[in-house]
Structure 1
Amino acid sequence: MNNKTYAGIPEEFSKQEQSKIVLIPVSYDGTNSLKGPKNGPEAFLNASEKLNLYDIETDTEVYQQGIYLAEAVTENESAEAMVNAVHQSTKKYIKKNKFVTLIGGDHAVSIGAIRAFNECFDSLTVLHIDAHTNLLKTYQGSAFHKNCALYEASQTTNLIQVGIRSMNAKEKTVVDNEKVYYAHEMAVDDSWMDSAIDQMTGNVFMSLDLSAIDISIMTSVSNPEPGGLFWYETLEFLNKLIQEKNIVGIALVGLSPNEYNASSDFLAARLYYKLLSYKFAEENIGDDYDNSYEGLNQKNNPSKFEDDDEY
Protein backbone atom coordinates (compact mmCIF):
# COMPACT_ATOMS: atom_id res chain seq x y z
CA MET A 1 0.00 0.00 0.00
CA ASN A 2 1.45 3.30 -1.11
CA ASN A 3 -1.15 5.60 0.41
CA LYS A 4 0.54 8.27 2.54
CA THR A 5 -2.61 9.64 4.12
CA TYR A 6 -6.22 8.46 4.32
CA ALA A 7 -8.19 9.75 1.31
CA GLY A 8 -5.27 11.95 0.36
CA ILE A 9 -6.16 14.43 3.12
CA PRO A 10 -3.65 17.20 3.90
CA GLU A 11 -0.87 16.10 6.26
CA GLU A 12 -2.03 18.59 8.89
CA PHE A 13 -5.12 16.39 9.40
CA SER A 14 -3.26 13.08 9.24
CA LYS A 15 -0.69 13.31 12.04
CA GLN A 16 -1.01 10.73 14.80
CA GLU A 17 -0.70 13.18 17.68
CA GLN A 18 -3.49 15.50 16.52
CA SER A 19 -5.82 12.90 14.98
CA LYS A 20 -8.88 11.70 16.88
CA ILE A 21 -9.37 8.77 14.49
CA VAL A 22 -6.97 5.95 13.62
CA LEU A 23 -7.47 3.67 10.62
CA ILE A 24 -5.58 0.35 10.66
CA PRO A 25 -5.49 -1.54 7.33
CA VAL A 26 -5.23 -5.32 7.68
CA SER A 27 -4.33 -7.09 4.45
CA TYR A 28 -5.29 -10.66 5.28
CA ASP A 29 -7.18 -13.44 3.51
CA GLY A 30 -7.31 -16.84 5.16
CA THR A 31 -7.93 -18.52 1.80
CA ASN A 32 -4.62 -17.17 0.43
CA SER A 33 -6.28 -16.36 -2.90
CA LEU A 34 -4.51 -14.03 -5.30
CA LYS A 35 -7.68 -11.99 -5.69
CA GLY A 36 -9.82 -11.54 -2.63
CA PRO A 37 -10.22 -9.75 0.70
CA LYS A 38 -6.45 -9.42 1.08
CA ASN A 39 -6.65 -6.68 -1.56
CA GLY A 40 -9.69 -5.02 0.04
CA PRO A 41 -7.83 -2.43 2.14
CA GLU A 42 -5.83 -1.15 -0.83
CA ALA A 43 -8.95 -0.90 -3.03
CA PHE A 44 -10.79 0.85 -0.19
CA LEU A 45 -8.01 3.41 0.28
CA ASN A 46 -7.72 4.06 -3.44
CA ALA A 47 -11.48 4.66 -3.70
CA SER A 48 -11.38 6.93 -0.63
CA GLU A 49 -9.00 9.28 -2.44
CA LYS A 50 -11.74 10.01 -4.98
CA LEU A 51 -14.53 10.83 -2.51
CA ASN A 52 -15.93 14.30 -1.94
CA LEU A 53 -15.15 14.74 1.75
CA TYR A 54 -18.00 17.12 2.54
CA ASP A 55 -20.95 15.18 3.95
CA ILE A 56 -24.24 16.78 2.91
CA GLU A 57 -26.40 15.04 5.50
CA THR A 58 -24.38 16.13 8.55
CA ASP A 59 -22.99 19.33 7.02
CA THR A 60 -19.51 18.32 8.16
CA GLU A 61 -16.04 17.52 6.87
CA VAL A 62 -15.10 14.86 9.38
CA TYR A 63 -11.55 14.42 8.07
CA GLN A 64 -10.78 17.72 9.82
CA GLN A 65 -11.14 15.86 13.13
CA GLY A 66 -7.91 14.13 12.09
CA ILE A 67 -7.59 10.65 10.59
CA TYR A 68 -4.27 8.90 11.06
CA LEU A 69 -3.50 6.09 8.62
CA ALA A 70 -1.61 3.60 10.76
CA GLU A 71 0.96 1.14 9.54
CA ALA A 72 -0.81 -1.78 7.90
CA VAL A 73 -0.91 -5.14 9.64
CA THR A 74 0.52 -7.54 7.06
CA GLU A 75 1.23 -10.55 9.31
CA ASN A 76 0.49 -13.63 7.21
CA GLU A 77 2.62 -16.30 8.88
CA SER A 78 -0.52 -17.77 10.38
CA ALA A 79 -4.08 -16.77 11.20
CA GLU A 80 -3.24 -16.76 14.91
CA ALA A 81 -0.23 -14.51 14.32
CA MET A 82 -2.44 -12.09 12.38
CA VAL A 83 -5.03 -12.05 15.19
CA ASN A 84 -2.33 -11.34 17.76
CA ALA A 85 -0.86 -8.54 15.63
CA VAL A 86 -4.29 -6.92 15.21
CA HIS A 87 -4.94 -7.27 18.94
CA GLN A 88 -1.71 -5.49 19.86
CA SER A 89 -2.03 -2.73 17.25
CA THR A 90 -5.65 -2.03 18.16
CA LYS A 91 -4.99 -1.84 21.89
CA LYS A 92 -1.98 0.40 21.36
CA TYR A 93 -4.16 3.08 19.76
CA ILE A 94 -7.04 2.64 22.21
CA LYS A 95 -4.55 3.46 24.97
CA LYS A 96 -3.55 6.57 23.05
CA ASN A 97 -7.15 7.80 23.36
CA LYS A 98 -8.03 7.35 19.68
CA PHE A 99 -11.22 6.26 17.96
CA VAL A 100 -9.82 3.08 16.45
CA THR A 101 -11.12 1.72 13.16
CA LEU A 102 -9.94 -1.14 10.97
CA ILE A 103 -10.38 -2.06 7.33
CA GLY A 104 -9.95 -5.79 6.52
CA GLY A 105 -9.23 -8.36 5.04
CA ASP A 106 -11.45 -11.29 5.80
CA HIS A 107 -13.61 -11.40 8.90
CA ALA A 108 -11.01 -13.14 11.07
CA VAL A 109 -9.48 -9.66 11.42
CA SER A 110 -12.27 -8.88 13.90
CA ILE A 111 -11.13 -11.50 16.42
CA GLY A 112 -8.07 -9.55 17.52
CA ALA A 113 -9.88 -6.22 17.44
CA ILE A 114 -12.73 -7.52 19.62
CA ARG A 115 -10.23 -8.88 22.14
CA ALA A 116 -8.61 -5.48 22.45
CA PHE A 117 -11.86 -3.58 22.90
CA ASN A 118 -13.24 -6.15 25.33
CA GLU A 119 -10.14 -5.77 27.48
CA CYS A 120 -10.39 -1.99 27.49
CA PHE A 121 -14.11 -1.20 27.78
CA ASP A 122 -16.58 -2.30 30.40
CA SER A 123 -19.72 -4.26 29.48
CA LEU A 124 -18.93 -4.39 25.77
CA THR A 125 -21.54 -5.11 23.15
CA VAL A 126 -20.28 -6.43 19.83
CA LEU A 127 -22.64 -5.50 17.01
CA HIS A 128 -22.06 -7.95 14.19
CA ILE A 129 -23.67 -6.88 10.90
CA ASP A 130 -23.26 -9.63 8.33
CA ALA A 131 -24.94 -12.18 6.07
CA HIS A 132 -23.25 -15.02 7.99
CA THR A 133 -23.22 -15.95 11.68
CA ASN A 134 -19.51 -16.96 11.78
CA LEU A 135 -20.07 -18.80 15.07
CA LEU A 136 -18.19 -22.07 14.55
CA LYS A 137 -15.79 -22.84 17.39
CA THR A 138 -13.26 -24.25 14.92
CA TYR A 139 -13.14 -24.72 11.17
CA GLN A 140 -10.68 -27.06 9.47
CA GLY A 141 -8.79 -27.32 12.75
CA SER A 142 -8.46 -23.55 13.32
CA ALA A 143 -10.21 -21.21 15.74
CA PHE A 144 -8.98 -18.26 13.67
CA HIS A 145 -10.87 -18.88 10.43
CA LYS A 146 -13.40 -16.29 9.27
CA ASN A 147 -16.16 -18.85 9.92
CA CYS A 148 -15.17 -18.61 13.60
CA ALA A 149 -14.81 -14.83 13.71
CA LEU A 150 -17.60 -14.21 16.24
CA TYR A 151 -17.44 -17.36 18.34
CA GLU A 152 -15.15 -15.84 20.96
CA ALA A 153 -17.32 -12.72 21.12
CA SER A 154 -20.38 -14.91 21.70
CA GLN A 155 -18.69 -16.29 24.82
CA THR A 156 -17.17 -13.10 26.24
CA THR A 157 -19.32 -10.13 25.15
CA ASN A 158 -22.92 -9.10 24.58
CA LEU A 159 -23.15 -10.17 20.94
CA ILE A 160 -25.93 -8.77 18.75
CA GLN A 161 -26.14 -10.06 15.15
CA VAL A 162 -27.99 -8.20 12.40
CA GLY A 163 -28.78 -9.14 8.80
CA ILE A 164 -28.08 -12.87 9.13
CA ARG A 165 -29.28 -15.02 6.25
CA SER A 166 -26.77 -17.90 6.07
CA MET A 167 -25.50 -20.28 8.75
CA ASN A 168 -24.17 -23.78 9.41
CA ALA A 169 -26.45 -26.21 11.24
CA LYS A 170 -23.74 -26.66 13.89
CA GLU A 171 -24.07 -22.98 14.79
CA LYS A 172 -27.62 -23.56 16.05
CA THR A 173 -26.12 -24.74 19.34
CA VAL A 174 -24.25 -21.44 19.77
CA VAL A 175 -26.52 -18.80 18.29
CA ASP A 176 -28.67 -16.78 20.69
CA ASN A 177 -31.92 -16.38 18.78
CA GLU A 178 -33.06 -13.61 21.13
CA LYS A 179 -30.13 -11.51 19.94
CA VAL A 180 -30.03 -12.42 16.25
CA TYR A 181 -31.96 -10.40 13.69
CA TYR A 182 -32.50 -12.62 10.67
CA ALA A 183 -32.87 -10.88 7.32
CA HIS A 184 -36.14 -12.64 6.43
CA GLU A 185 -37.69 -11.41 9.70
CA MET A 186 -36.28 -7.89 9.37
CA ALA A 187 -37.94 -7.61 5.96
CA VAL A 188 -41.40 -7.76 7.54
CA ASP A 189 -40.74 -6.18 10.95
CA ASP A 190 -40.21 -2.42 11.12
CA SER A 191 -39.31 -2.59 14.81
CA TRP A 192 -36.02 -4.48 14.40
CA MET A 193 -33.82 -1.37 14.65
CA ASP A 194 -35.20 -0.26 18.01
CA SER A 195 -35.24 -3.83 19.29
CA ALA A 196 -31.58 -4.44 18.40
CA ILE A 197 -30.41 -1.15 19.92
CA ASP A 198 -32.42 -1.76 23.10
CA GLN A 199 -30.48 -5.00 23.66
CA MET A 200 -27.11 -3.25 23.51
CA THR A 201 -25.05 -2.01 26.45
CA GLY A 202 -23.60 1.52 26.49
CA ASN A 203 -20.28 0.69 24.80
CA VAL A 204 -20.58 -0.88 21.34
CA PHE A 205 -17.90 -2.19 18.98
CA MET A 206 -19.14 -2.68 15.42
CA SER A 207 -17.92 -5.48 13.17
CA LEU A 208 -19.49 -4.89 9.77
CA ASP A 209 -18.97 -7.41 6.99
CA LEU A 210 -19.91 -5.92 3.64
CA SER A 211 -21.79 -9.10 2.71
CA ALA A 212 -24.54 -7.67 4.95
CA ILE A 213 -25.32 -5.24 2.11
CA ASP A 214 -27.61 -6.47 -0.65
CA ILE A 215 -25.72 -7.95 -3.61
CA SER A 216 -27.55 -5.67 -6.03
CA ILE A 217 -25.45 -2.75 -4.71
CA MET A 218 -22.54 -4.60 -3.05
CA THR A 219 -21.25 -7.23 -5.44
CA SER A 220 -17.58 -7.50 -4.45
CA VAL A 221 -17.63 -9.80 -1.44
CA SER A 222 -16.17 -13.28 -1.16
CA ASN A 223 -19.40 -15.00 -0.04
CA PRO A 224 -22.38 -13.07 -1.48
CA GLU A 225 -25.91 -13.85 -0.33
CA PRO A 226 -29.19 -12.44 -1.71
CA GLY A 227 -31.57 -10.50 0.51
CA GLY A 228 -29.33 -8.01 2.27
CA LEU A 229 -29.64 -4.48 3.61
CA PHE A 230 -30.06 -1.52 1.27
CA TRP A 231 -28.19 1.78 1.43
CA TYR A 232 -30.62 4.12 3.17
CA GLU A 233 -31.92 1.37 5.44
CA THR A 234 -28.34 0.75 6.55
CA LEU A 235 -27.65 4.43 7.12
CA GLU A 236 -30.86 4.89 9.09
CA PHE A 237 -29.89 2.10 11.46
CA LEU A 238 -26.28 3.23 11.87
CA ASN A 239 -27.21 6.87 12.46
CA LYS A 240 -29.83 5.90 15.04
CA LEU A 241 -27.36 3.56 16.73
CA ILE A 242 -24.61 6.18 16.96
CA GLN A 243 -27.01 8.74 18.42
CA GLU A 244 -28.10 6.35 21.18
CA LYS A 245 -24.94 4.38 22.05
CA ASN A 246 -21.22 5.01 22.51
CA ILE A 247 -19.60 3.43 19.46
CA VAL A 248 -16.04 2.74 20.64
CA GLY A 249 -14.62 1.34 17.40
CA ILE A 250 -15.36 -0.15 13.99
CA ALA A 251 -14.04 -2.97 11.84
CA LEU A 252 -15.17 -2.90 8.21
CA VAL A 253 -14.32 -6.19 6.52
CA GLY A 254 -15.06 -8.41 3.56
CA LEU A 255 -14.36 -6.22 0.51
CA SER A 256 -13.12 -8.50 -2.26
CA PRO A 257 -12.39 -6.06 -5.10
CA ASN A 258 -13.27 -6.71 -8.72
CA GLU A 259 -10.87 -5.12 -11.20
CA TYR A 260 -13.70 -4.70 -13.73
CA ASN A 261 -16.18 -2.98 -11.41
CA ALA A 262 -15.04 -0.61 -8.67
CA SER A 263 -18.51 0.40 -7.49
CA SER A 264 -18.28 -1.77 -4.38
CA ASP A 265 -14.95 -0.16 -3.45
CA PHE A 266 -16.65 3.22 -3.49
CA LEU A 267 -19.62 1.96 -1.49
CA ALA A 268 -17.25 0.67 1.20
CA ALA A 269 -15.31 3.93 1.21
CA ARG A 270 -18.46 6.04 1.46
CA LEU A 271 -19.97 3.83 4.18
CA TYR A 272 -16.86 4.20 6.34
CA TYR A 273 -16.83 7.96 5.89
CA LYS A 274 -20.55 8.10 6.72
CA LEU A 275 -19.92 6.25 9.96
CA LEU A 276 -17.25 8.77 10.93
CA SER A 277 -19.52 11.66 9.93
CA TYR A 278 -22.31 10.36 12.18
CA LYS A 279 -19.92 9.63 15.05
CA PHE A 280 -18.37 13.12 15.10
CA ALA A 281 -21.32 15.18 13.80
CA GLU A 282 -21.80 17.00 17.11
CA GLU A 283 -18.14 17.32 18.05
CA ASN A 284 -16.26 20.54 17.38
CA ILE A 285 -13.03 20.15 15.46
CA GLY A 286 -10.92 21.74 18.20
CA ASP A 287 -12.39 19.68 21.04
CA ASP A 288 -10.39 16.90 22.67
CA TYR A 289 -11.64 13.38 22.00
CA ASP A 290 -12.45 11.11 24.93
CA ASN A 291 -12.90 7.45 24.06
CA SER A 292 -14.03 6.64 27.64
CA TYR A 293 -11.15 4.19 28.08
CA GLU A 294 -10.17 4.22 31.75
CA GLY A 295 -7.08 2.04 31.77
CA LEU A 296 -6.31 -1.64 32.01
CA ASN A 297 -6.85 -1.75 35.79
CA GLN A 298 -10.56 -1.97 34.96
CA LYS A 299 -10.28 -4.75 32.37
CA ASN A 300 -13.34 -6.97 32.10
CA ASN A 301 -11.40 -10.23 32.03
CA PRO A 302 -7.75 -9.73 33.04
CA SER A 303 -6.81 -13.39 32.55
CA LYS A 304 -8.71 -14.23 29.37
CA PHE A 305 -5.90 -13.66 26.91
CA GLU A 306 -2.16 -13.25 27.02
CA ASP A 307 -1.53 -9.57 27.52
CA ASP A 308 1.56 -7.52 26.77
CA ASP A 309 1.16 -3.91 27.84
CA GLU A 310 4.59 -2.84 26.61
CA TYR A 311 3.84 -0.41 23.80
Structure 2
Amino acid sequence: EYEGSAFNHACAVYQASQTTNLIQVGIRSMDHTETTLIDPEKTYFAHQMIADDYWMENAIEQMTDNVFITFDLDALDPSIMPSTGTPEPGGLFWYEVLDFLSRVFSEKNVVGFDIVELCPNPANKAPDFLAAKLYYKMLSYKFREAGADKSFDNDYRDDDSKNNPFKFNDDEY
Protein backbone atom coordinates (compact mmCIF):
# COMPACT_ATOMS: atom_id res chain seq x y z
CA GLU A 1 0.00 0.00 0.00
CA TYR A 2 1.25 3.48 -0.89
CA GLU A 3 -0.45 6.72 0.12
CA GLY A 4 -3.47 4.74 1.29
CA SER A 5 -4.03 2.71 -1.86
CA ALA A 6 -2.92 -0.77 -2.83
CA PHE A 7 -3.54 0.23 -6.45
CA ASN A 8 -1.27 3.27 -6.52
CA HIS A 9 1.20 3.30 -9.44
CA ALA A 10 3.98 2.81 -6.90
CA CYS A 11 2.48 -0.61 -6.06
CA ALA A 12 2.45 -2.01 -9.61
CA VAL A 13 5.66 -4.02 -9.26
CA TYR A 14 4.48 -5.59 -6.02
CA GLN A 15 1.13 -6.50 -7.59
CA ALA A 16 2.92 -8.03 -10.59
CA SER A 17 5.23 -10.03 -8.32
CA GLN A 18 2.21 -11.77 -6.80
CA THR A 19 1.04 -13.29 -10.10
CA THR A 20 4.07 -13.39 -12.41
CA ASN A 21 7.68 -14.49 -12.59
CA LEU A 22 8.99 -10.98 -11.93
CA ILE A 23 12.66 -10.34 -12.65
CA GLN A 24 14.02 -6.85 -12.01
CA VAL A 25 17.23 -5.62 -13.62
CA GLY A 26 19.22 -2.46 -12.90
CA ILE A 27 17.71 -1.59 -9.53
CA ARG A 28 19.63 1.21 -7.80
CA SER A 29 17.56 2.21 -4.82
CA MET A 30 14.37 1.38 -2.99
CA ASP A 31 12.46 2.12 0.15
CA HIS A 32 13.43 -0.01 3.15
CA THR A 33 9.95 -1.57 3.18
CA GLU A 34 10.42 -2.71 -0.42
CA THR A 35 13.48 -4.75 0.54
CA THR A 36 11.19 -7.09 2.48
CA LEU A 37 8.95 -7.62 -0.55
CA ILE A 38 11.46 -8.39 -3.32
CA ASP A 39 12.81 -11.75 -4.38
CA PRO A 40 16.56 -11.24 -3.96
CA GLU A 41 17.31 -14.12 -6.35
CA LYS A 42 15.44 -12.32 -9.14
CA THR A 43 16.51 -8.76 -8.41
CA TYR A 44 19.66 -7.55 -10.14
CA PHE A 45 21.05 -4.47 -8.43
CA ALA A 46 23.13 -2.17 -10.63
CA HIS A 47 26.05 -2.06 -8.20
CA GLN A 48 26.22 -5.88 -8.16
CA MET A 49 25.83 -6.23 -11.92
CA ILE A 50 29.10 -4.35 -12.49
CA ALA A 51 31.08 -7.18 -10.88
CA ASP A 52 28.96 -10.04 -12.27
CA ASP A 53 29.95 -11.10 -15.79
CA TYR A 54 27.05 -13.57 -15.90
CA TRP A 55 24.12 -11.43 -14.79
CA MET A 56 22.59 -11.42 -18.27
CA GLU A 57 22.75 -15.18 -18.62
CA ASN A 58 21.43 -15.68 -15.09
CA ALA A 59 18.51 -13.29 -15.55
CA ILE A 60 17.54 -14.84 -18.89
CA GLU A 61 17.77 -18.34 -17.44
CA GLN A 62 15.26 -17.35 -14.73
CA MET A 63 12.72 -16.15 -17.29
CA THR A 64 9.81 -18.25 -18.46
CA ASP A 65 9.53 -19.12 -22.16
CA ASN A 66 7.02 -16.31 -22.72
CA VAL A 67 8.16 -12.91 -21.51
CA PHE A 68 6.54 -9.49 -21.20
CA ILE A 69 9.05 -6.66 -20.80
CA THR A 70 8.29 -3.44 -19.01
CA PHE A 71 11.24 -1.17 -19.58
CA ASP A 72 11.31 1.60 -17.00
CA LEU A 73 13.46 4.43 -18.35
CA ASP A 74 14.49 5.15 -14.75
CA ALA A 75 16.82 2.16 -15.17
CA LEU A 76 19.02 4.17 -17.53
CA ASP A 77 21.82 6.34 -16.27
CA PRO A 78 20.71 10.00 -16.07
CA SER A 79 23.70 10.99 -18.21
CA ILE A 80 21.78 9.51 -21.16
CA MET A 81 18.21 9.66 -19.78
CA PRO A 82 17.67 12.65 -17.48
CA SER A 83 13.97 12.94 -18.39
CA THR A 84 12.47 10.49 -15.92
CA GLY A 85 10.55 10.81 -12.70
CA THR A 86 13.52 9.46 -10.74
CA PRO A 87 16.90 10.20 -12.38
CA GLU A 88 19.12 8.07 -10.14
CA PRO A 89 22.93 7.90 -10.70
CA GLY A 90 24.59 4.61 -11.55
CA GLY A 91 22.13 3.39 -14.16
CA LEU A 92 22.41 1.22 -17.22
CA PHE A 93 23.97 2.42 -20.47
CA TRP A 94 22.74 2.18 -24.06
CA TYR A 95 24.86 -0.69 -25.43
CA GLU A 96 24.54 -2.71 -22.25
CA VAL A 97 20.75 -2.43 -22.52
CA LEU A 98 20.75 -3.32 -26.23
CA ASP A 99 22.95 -6.35 -25.61
CA PHE A 100 20.64 -7.62 -22.88
CA LEU A 101 17.43 -6.96 -24.80
CA SER A 102 18.83 -8.55 -27.96
CA ARG A 103 19.61 -11.69 -25.98
CA VAL A 104 16.17 -11.77 -24.38
CA PHE A 105 14.43 -11.41 -27.73
CA SER A 106 16.69 -14.11 -29.25
CA GLU A 107 16.25 -16.65 -26.47
CA LYS A 108 12.67 -16.05 -25.31
CA ASN A 109 9.27 -15.43 -26.86
CA VAL A 110 8.61 -11.80 -26.05
CA VAL A 111 4.82 -11.55 -26.13
CA GLY A 112 4.76 -7.81 -25.56
CA PHE A 113 6.61 -4.86 -24.13
CA ASP A 114 6.13 -1.33 -22.94
CA ILE A 115 8.40 1.57 -22.13
CA VAL A 116 7.46 3.71 -19.16
CA GLU A 117 8.53 6.74 -17.09
CA LEU A 118 9.51 9.20 -19.82
CA CYS A 119 9.06 12.68 -18.36
CA PRO A 120 9.61 14.96 -21.39
CA ASN A 121 11.56 18.15 -20.92
CA PRO A 122 10.92 20.75 -23.66
CA ALA A 123 14.45 22.09 -23.17
CA ASN A 124 16.06 18.70 -23.89
CA LYS A 125 14.61 16.55 -26.67
CA ALA A 126 17.44 13.96 -26.73
CA PRO A 127 15.81 11.68 -24.11
CA ASP A 128 12.61 11.61 -26.18
CA PHE A 129 14.60 10.37 -29.16
CA LEU A 130 16.36 7.80 -26.98
CA ALA A 131 12.99 6.41 -25.85
CA ALA A 132 11.77 6.28 -29.45
CA LYS A 133 14.98 4.58 -30.61
CA LEU A 134 14.68 2.05 -27.80
CA TYR A 135 11.15 1.23 -28.93
CA TYR A 136 12.36 0.88 -32.52
CA LYS A 137 15.21 -1.43 -31.45
CA MET A 138 12.91 -3.63 -29.37
CA LEU A 139 10.44 -3.88 -32.23
CA SER A 140 13.22 -4.78 -34.65
CA TYR A 141 14.53 -7.44 -32.26
CA LYS A 142 11.06 -8.97 -32.08
CA PHE A 143 10.73 -9.29 -35.83
CA ARG A 144 14.35 -9.99 -36.78
CA GLU A 145 13.82 -13.73 -36.24
CA ALA A 146 10.58 -13.71 -38.22
CA GLY A 147 12.46 -13.12 -41.46
CA ALA A 148 11.57 -9.45 -41.68
CA ASP A 149 12.70 -7.61 -44.77
CA LYS A 150 16.36 -6.63 -44.30
CA SER A 151 15.67 -3.18 -45.71
CA PHE A 152 14.25 -2.29 -42.29
CA ASP A 153 17.39 -3.40 -40.46
CA ASN A 154 19.60 -0.51 -39.39
CA ASP A 155 22.60 -2.33 -37.96
CA TYR A 156 25.26 -1.58 -40.60
CA ARG A 157 25.75 -5.19 -41.63
CA ASP A 158 25.00 -4.88 -45.34
CA ASP A 159 27.67 -6.03 -47.81
CA ASP A 160 28.81 -2.47 -48.60
CA SER A 161 29.77 -1.82 -44.99
CA LYS A 162 32.35 -4.62 -44.95
CA ASN A 163 34.73 -2.53 -47.06
CA ASN A 164 34.07 0.73 -45.27
CA PRO A 165 36.32 1.22 -42.22
CA PHE A 166 34.17 4.12 -41.01
CA LYS A 167 31.00 2.15 -40.40
CA PHE A 168 30.38 0.23 -37.24
CA ASN A 169 30.61 -3.52 -37.44
CA ASP A 170 29.36 -4.55 -34.05
CA ASP A 171 26.45 -6.75 -35.12
CA GLU A 172 23.62 -5.07 -33.26
CA TYR A 173 24.17 -1.38 -32.76
Deviation, structure 1 residue 159: 0.7
Partner of residue 242, structure 1: 105
Superposition RMSD on alpha carbons, in Å? 1.2
Aligned to 1:254: 117
| Structure 1: gaps of 5 or more residues | 1-137, 287-311
In 2, the alpha carbon distance for the partners of 1:148 and 1:247 equals 24
How many aligned positions are there?
Answer: 149
CA shift, 1:264, in A, is 0.2
- The superposition leaves residues 230-277 of structure 1 with CA deviations (integer Å, 9 ceiling, x where unpaired) of 000000000001000000011110000000010000000000000000
Structure 2: distance between partners of 1:257 and 1:144: 25
Q: Does 1:145 align with 2:8?
A: yes
Instruction: Provide the residue aligned with 1:191 in structure 2.
Output: 54
2:167 equivalent in structure 1: none
Q: Partners of 2:92 and 2:28 in 1: how far apart? A: 11
- 1:170 paired residue among 33, 50, 61: 33
Structure 1 CA distance for aligned equivalents of residues 35 and 130 of structure 2 = 32
Instruction: Tell me the TM-score normalized by structure 1.
Output: 0.47
Secondary structure class of the residue paired with 2:52: coil
CA distance, structure 1, for counterparts of residue 62 and residue 8 of structure 2 = 27
1:209-228 equivalences under 5 Å are 209-228=72-91
Q: Give the letter for the 1:188 counterpart.
A: A
1:163 aligned counterpart, secondary structure: strand
TM-score computed with the length of structure 2 as normaliser: 0.83
CA distance in 2, matches of 1:170, 1:177: 14
SS in 2 for 1:227: coil
SS in 1 for 2:35: helix
Distance of 1:221 and 1:154 partners within structure 2: 23
How far the C-alpha of 1:171 sits from its partner, in A, is: 1.2
The percentage of aligned residue pairs carrying the same residue is 60
Report the AA paired with residue 113 of structure 2. I
- 1:261 maps to a residue whose letter is N
Q: Taking CA–CA contacts closer than 8 Å with sequence separation of 6 or more, which of the two structures ends up with the larger relative contact order?
A: 1
> 1:20 — aligned with what?
none
Structure 2 Cα separation of the partners of residues 270 and 151 of structure 1: 29
